[in-house]
Structure 1
Amino acid sequence: MALAAAATAALAVGGIAVTGGSAQAADVNIAKNPGFESGLSSWTCSGESGTTVSSPVRSGSAALKATPTGSDHAKCSQTVTVQPNSDYTLSAWVQGSYVYLGASGTGTTDVSTWTPSATSWQELRTSFKTGANTTSVTIYTHGWYAQPAYHVDDVNLMGPGGSDPGDPGEQVPGTPGGLTVPSTTSDSVSLAWNTVSGATGYNVYRDGTKVQAVSGTSATVSGLSPSTSYQFQVSATNGAGESAKSGAVTGTTKPSGDTGGGTVPKHAVTGYWQNFNNGATIQKISDVQNQYDIIAVAFADATGTPGAVTFNLDSAGLGGYTVDQFKADIKAKQAAGKSVIISVGGEKGTVSVNDSASATNFANSVYAVMQEYGFDGVDIDLENGLNSTYMTQALRSLSQKAGSKLVITMAPQTIDMQSTSNEYFKTALNIKDILTVVNMQYYNSGSMLGCDSKVYSQGSVDFLTALACIQLEGGLAPGQVGLGTPASTRGAGSGYVDPSVVTNALDCLARGTNCGSFKPSKTYPGIRGAMTWSTNWDALNGNAWSNKVGPHVHALP
């Protein structure tokens, strides 16, 4: 096999030295973040090939997953301070095909070892002696070109720790401060605290017992009993150790049956949350900026049953975000007065509702997904066609199941709302009595007609106001109209506008001020607000969109 031959050649060059010897009693594991509990802290992976996952893991709550490509073997490495003329043993537990473990820069003979196939956790072990002037070595793992992803956990570099007289080395971080309880539900408590300099992670304690390890400065502890008080503390961690625990705070869960969900406010900001990694900031639901009132989870997945959908959290792509944490974060957002809904469709969505059977399947499956994850409603973002008759049937059936608090939003393209005879517009009017908001996408469209029959180019205040006017004059209530724009230039192919253009357009529609050349014949103080794709692109851009648009929406009359 050519691949095996290439691998053997690589090992011959590297100089395998596998030993069964044990480290001396005084030796310690000097690898930093050896179990990847603090994400990729201290590790660097080539070509952004690495991430951390919650399954499979050998111990703790995380492990490394690295994915080779045809031109990159997904090497993940870290440089460790060592002592000269000293013996070291390097080991790690791995899963996958053609997984390598090695050390370079030893000052003597660099070493590596590998396994051609580890279908379950398998330990790799090698050893080396440092040279007379060696003060650091690089330890690494990698896979092989064009092979599947591999996993690594519990990396150990056993030997005497190095020291540099001019460098005090990494210090144990300070104790976290500012621990608060922002919100609770009947079975969860959300926590937040201040950042600690030098910390790579934090441990969360409930009644003195460690229950979570997180990388950020917030956490949601779930699986709690209703109407019960708990004490919480946090500590900070890095490669040097763990700080003392913070002062304790008390969190009391709500009574059973109290979900904490709220009603959409009169003026609301909607943001789409990406259940995938496309280069924008990877977020948990708990990371979504507080300015967002409606969080639309993008996207539900089509099934083999016509009209039916399901939802699959991309835990691996989101750095090991677990389903339980996702559900708890939804509850925490609801406790804070937000609505979290499931979006159906998107650019690549293939859900089709074009007869009574598929309408029934849609309603039943969306309701099942809402029940499973705790979503408040559904967003219709079908960009490949929509049948108003059967989508109306589906949404009315869903409303009967979910009740009066159901949140229904839509995100049609500009072409879909040019006329009340369009299927999207007809659907919106058909369910006007149960519709929350239509957040039309004012992007990726080029020039379009406004309500005065003049042509307007995207990217201007006139484009937003003159096209919103079509919906307002076509039968939708002001509270059912929102302005959808990208959060950054990378959020859409075209149509990005500075957030000030969005706020000027809202002022024009609500107050008759800050208009461009087009000015509506009347004002619409009840205009619902604005939407963006996406909270992730917004976060990557420093939350510039939500920081500007959010407070403006919430201050509308």
Structure 2
Amino acid sequence: MPILSRKPVRFRTAAAVVATAAVTLALGLAGPASAADVNNAKNAGFESGLSSWTCSASSGTTVSAPVHGGSAALRATPAGQDNARCSQTVAVKPNSTYTLSAWVQGGYAYLGATGTGTTDVSTWTPDSASWKQLSTTFTTGASTTSVTVYTHGWYGQPAYLVDDVSVYGPDGGGGSGPAPTVPGAPGGLSVSGTTSSSVSLAWNAVSGATGYNVYRAGTKVTAVTGTSATVTGLAASTSYSFQVTAVNSAGESGKSGAVAGTTTATPGGGGGALPKHAVTGYWQNFNNGATVQKLSAVQSQYDIIAVAFADATTTPGAVTFSLDSAGLGGYTVDQFKADIRAKQAAGKKVVVSVGGQNGTVSVSDTASAANFANSVYALMQTYGFDGVDIDLENGLNPTYMSQALRSLAAKAGGSLVLTMAPQTIDMQSTSNGYFQTALNVKDILTVVNMQYYNSGSMLGCDGKVYSQGSVDFLTALACIQLEGGLAPSQVGLGLPASPSGAGSGYVPPSVVNNALDCLTKGSSCGSFKPSRTYPDLRGAMTWSTNWDAAAGNAWSGAVGPHVHGLP
């Protein structure tokens, strides 16, 4: 989590993602291509070295491995104040739509276009161990005849690789690449989870596809860019038939084989009897200098208590939990279980948190997704936990983590409490894996309590950069989630309970309360004021109940009543 325990604090400066900011909250797909469409990028596969490309500070070179296609790829290395920007000017036609894409690997990688004459665009991805396609679209202005397309990395991050860049659309006069062909139909379509009102699907990626359409009983119901989707708004205890197609700028494939999914009879929607506005606190199952607490001593203001942490096992995806009885002064497992029951009898929810700063749980395929769901459900049965908190700070796979959470929900039923605690960098864009996961499981998600600390400056929803430690930092970053697809009731503000609880980012409880008022009422704002209010905002979270106790319960004593008194 936050600040984990067992090792020194690691500071993430993703100052980041500030970049081009351009981190758009959603990507569109171009319409069907015409017969004249070509790839307008020159030397798109870097087979001719850096011909047609210019890289800042001599940061770019070509390599023969790894490559996505052909025999060469671009390798660009950020250094000092240079972000390794490589660009070329591409001839285009006015009033035309183009699909910009590239395959990237390695460190943080950005892809974008400027000088479009309309809205400039960009997209990005965190570091990737394998080739990943970035894609976005832009429309040229009435007099635009050229645009600049670019890639770049980020300061202090490793080198990134780029290959097979394409700018598909009408020939601007310099194009040479062939237009894409219609992709093949997806294979491997399967049901990855169900609730009383939704069916989750997953399928295999199709080469050359930039997106996928999902059909229910022959009618298109949603379009996605990844290889998973959740179809919502379904009736309970009902069987539905689904198919998927692959699309790109050349057109749409035939439909995949059909698969049937049957919704459950149990009403869905996590959260149970939680209050409209809730306070979450992490309870430390270890002693790192904060007050050592039994669960029974956790302050009454906390509505959700996240037990930190479950640990990885040698089985991929599986987790376990072991009470640190010795470190907690002889706290026994029986006492712990009894305290969980007592908190629940008082109307509280107790969940087990997976991850933390040092957590290494990996859910990266169907088998590990099943192992995760089975092991978490076993912990729920053993200890009486109400659900799970996802606090993985070393990346996650949205396809398979979504699959795992769907499977867990199918086992636990509608009373499952599902919370998340991503870092700020994880929620800067809906293209990020954490944000994708939250949206994938939105119908069973209780709350996302983003960590507003140990992050450095970040981008707000208004395109401006804000420094942590201010009311603007909290409100402008929360706005990204609130406008990016999460319901206000699924958004919470995560802050340290004291300066000792985190390496940076602590703010007094009064600043937390001001941010809550700004978002819910439009009052007590800083320089940033959201365009609308969110009276259903869920509330706030802190790391941790133990650090709160060490500071005389100042955080929960001030923030707790304020949260519970929101409209």
Interval containing the TM-score (normalised by the shorter chain): 0.5 to 0.7
Letter aligned with residue 296 of structure 1 = A
- The answer as to 2:521 corresponding to 1:506 is no
Q: After superposition, where does 1:157-176 map in structure 2 within 5 Å? A: none
The Cα of 1:265 is off from its aligned counterpart by 1.3
Question: In the TM superposition, what are the counterparts of 1:162-311 in structure 2 within 5 Å?
Answer: 263-311=273-321
* Structure-2 separation of matches of 1:345 and 1:302: 8
1:544 — aligned with what?
Answer: 554
CA distance in 2, matches of 1:456, 1:264: 32
**Which residue is equivalent to 1:103?**
none
| 2:441 paired with 1:415 | no
Moved beyond 2 Å, runs of 4+? none
**Corresponding residue for 1:480?**
490
The corresponding residue for 1:142 is: none
SS at match of 1:300: strand
Q: Partners of 2:331 and 2:510 in 1: how far apart?
A: 34
Q: What secondary structure, in the 3-state scheme, does the structure 1 residue paired with 2:381 have? A: helix
Per-residue deviation, residues 458-508 of structure 1 (Å, max 9, x unmatched): 000000000000000000000000000000001001000000000000000
Q: Superposition pairs for residues 47-62 of structure 1, below 5 Å?
A: none
Corresponding residue to 1:384 among 390, 394, 406: 394
Q: Is the 8 A contact 1:262 1:338 kept in 2?
A: no
2:295–2:339 CA contact under 8 A, matched in 1:
yes
TM-score of the superposed pair, with normalisation by structure 2: 0.52
Does residue 330 of the first structure (1) align with residue 362 of the second (2)?
no
- Work out the CA distance in 1 between the residues paired with 2:462 and 2:501: 29
Residue 78 of structure 1 corresponds to none
Residue 133 of structure 1: aligned partner: none
Instruction: Please tell me whether Structure 1 or Structure 2 has the larger radius of gyration of its CA atoms.
Output: 1
Q: CA deviation at 1:384?
A: 0.5
Whether the aligned pair in 2 keeps the contact of 1:298 and 1:342 (CA below 8 Å) is: yes
Secondary structure of the corresponding residue to residue 442 of structure 2 = coil
Gaps of 5+ in 2: 1-270
What is aligned with 2:358?
348
Conserved in 2, the CA contact under 8 Å of 1:414 and 1:441?
yes
Pairwise CA RMSD of aligned residues? Answer: 0.8
Equivalent residue, structure 2, for 1:432: 442
**Aligned equivalents of 1:303 and 1:424: distance in 2?**
22
**Cα deviation per residue 1:429-473 (whole Å; 9 max; x = unaligned)?**
000000000000000000000000000000000000000000000
In the alignment, the residues of structure 2 paired with residue 462 and residue 294 of structure 1 have an alpha-carbon distance, to the nearest angstrom, of 26
Q: Determine the C-alpha separation between the residues in 1 that align with 2:417 and 2:336.
A: 19
The 1-side partners of 2:364 and 2:423 are apart by: 20
Separation in structure 2 between the aligned mates of residue 465 and residue 453 of structure 1, nearest angstrom: 13
Residue identity opposite 1:277 in structure 2: N
Opposite residue 388 of structure 1, the aligned amino acid is P
* Percent pairwise identity: 84
Q: Within 5 Å, which residues of 2 pair with 1:103-118?
A: none
Note if contact 1:268-1:530 (Cα within 8 Å) is conserved in structure 2: yes
Tell whether the 8 Å contact from 2:272 to 2:416 is kept in structure 1 after alignment. Answer: no
SS in 1 for 2:552: coil
Query: Match of 1:433, SS?
Result: helix
Contact 1:262 1:337 in 2 (8 A): no
TM-score (norm 1): 0.53
Q: Contact between 1:486 and 1:532, CA under 8 Å: does it hold in 2?
A: yes
Does the CA contact (< 8 Å) of 2:272 and 2:417 recur in 1?
no
Q: CA deviation at 1:262?
A: 5.7
SS of the equivalent of 2:443 reads coil
- CA apart distance, 1:263: 1.7
Aligned 1:82-121 pairs, distance under 5 A? none
**Partner residue of 1:312 out of 322, 326, 333:** 322
- Provide the C-alpha distance between the structure 1 equivalents of 2:424 and 2:441, rounded to a whole number of angstroms: 19
**In 1: Cα distance, 2:420 partner to 2:501 partner:** 18
Alpha-carbon contact 1:409-1:439 (below 8 Å) kept? yes
1:246-265 superposed Cα distances (whole Å, 9 cap, x missing partner): xxxxxxxxxxxxxxx96221
**Residue equivalent to 2:533:** 523
**Correspondence for 1:375 among 372, 381, 385:** 385
Whether the aligned pair in 2 keeps the contact of 1:262 and 1:335 (CA below 8 Å) is: no
